[in-house]
Amino acid sequence: MKTIDKLIIIFTNLFLLIVAVWAITVPITLSKSFYLYEFEKNNTVEESGYSQTELDNIANTIIRFLADKTNDMQVVIDDTPVFSNQAIYHMQDVKDLYVNGSKIALICLFLLFLSILYIILNYHRLKHLIFKYSAFTIAIILLICFAFAVYAFVDFDSAFTFFHRVIFPDEQKFNDAFFSYVSNYPELPGVNNLMLTTILDVKLFMDAGIIIGCFVVFIELLWLAILYVLKRKIPNLN
């Protein structure tokens, strides 16, 4: 029973991690103000050649696409598609990952509720294990986050490639995630294969990563602080 209790405590913290990542990723990816802020910060109007109004429309389309409110991410301006076929195929993979990730996060939220309920109901037996194994799990999580942050700071391109290799193990999907002047697919005249990465600049992803990382660290440390207070102030809930 003790082994099962330890595993439940460890998985409770892992469920919390997944829910925390999901809870901050969704608002960022569906936030029009975030996109518009990044467009202004990265001088996207000048870099892309599109006006602020056109970028506003593009941001709306991306948000609706990721929110699964439309199956078409293409935007046509002056009779020319904004995104290449390669960009569309890649963003479809991103959308699938986003939608499926949200489903997994909701399952983890339910399991988190059940595991916390189990811990509360069995607090008398688990009180000596909760903080110890939660601190152990959180320490590993934070260590991994810190190591990846240092890796990205030292060599962001390599970290970016590694991250995509993990989430897109299929070779075609992995190749579609990286863009060059020449598309992997036939394109209409005038379509710029680099427009997706021009509009969604790498700095946008760096800022999103920093926000997500800081939020996750905050939630993990807050959870650990709550457990510590409970350990000190409420030695027995039964």
User: By percentage, how much of the chain surpasses pLDDT 90?
Assistant: 75
pLDDT of residue 1: 62
Work out whether the CA dihedral 24, 100, 196, 209 comes out positive or negative: positive
Asked if residue 52 is part of any domain, the answer here is yes
Of 61-70, 119-128, 129-138, 190-199, the range with the lowest mean pLDDT is 119-128
Residue type, 224: L
User: By percentage, how much of the chain surpasses pLDDT 70?
Assistant: 97
Asked if residue 238 is part of any domain, the answer here is no
Phi, psi of 197 (to 5 degrees): -75, -15
Q: How many helices (H) and strands (E) does the chain have?
A: 11, 2
For strands 80-81 and 76-77, give the pairing. antiparallel
Residue 227 has pLDDT above 80, yes or no: yes
Q: Classify residue 73 by its DSSP letter.
A: -
Instruction: For residue 49, give its domain range.
Output: 2-233
Asked if residue 80 is part of any domain, the answer here is yes
Query: Which tokens sit at 64?
Result: 């609706």
pLDDT of residue 238: 44
Give the whole-angstrom CA distance, residue 180 versus residue 45: 21
Asked if residue 169 is part of any domain, the answer here is yes
Residue 114's nearest CA partner among 209, 8, 235 is 8
Report angle CA 140, 145, 149 to the nearest 5 degrees.
Answer: 145
What's the predicted TM-score (pTM) here? 0.90
What mean pLDDT value characterizes the chain? 92
3-state secondary structure 117-183: HHHHHCHHHHCCCHHHHHHHHHHHHHHHHHHHHHHHHHCHHHHHHHHHHHHCCCHHHHHHCCCCCCC
How confident is the model over 150-163, as pLDDT tens digits? Answer: 998 898 888 888 88
Residue 92 has pLDDT above 50, yes or no: yes
How many domains, the chain?
1
140: Cα within 13 Å, side-chain hemisphere: 10
How confident is the model over 114-141, as pLDDT tens digits? Answer: 999 999 999 888 888 999 999 999 999 9
Query: What's the mean pLDDT in 42-68?
Result: 95
CB atoms inside a 10 Å sphere around CB 171 = 9
Asked if residue 159 is part of any domain, the answer here is yes
Query: Which tokens sit at 173?
Result: 């999907």
Asked if residue 191 is part of any domain, the answer here is yes
Give the whole-angstrom CA distance, residue 18 versus residue 56: 31
Give the whole-angstrom CA distance, residue 42 versus residue 198: 9
Give the whole-angstrom CA distance, residue 230 versus residue 160: 40
The answer to whether residues 84 and 74 touch, using CB atoms and an 8 Å cutoff, is: no
Q: Could you tell me where the beta strands, DSSP code E, fall in the chain?
A: 76-77, 80-81
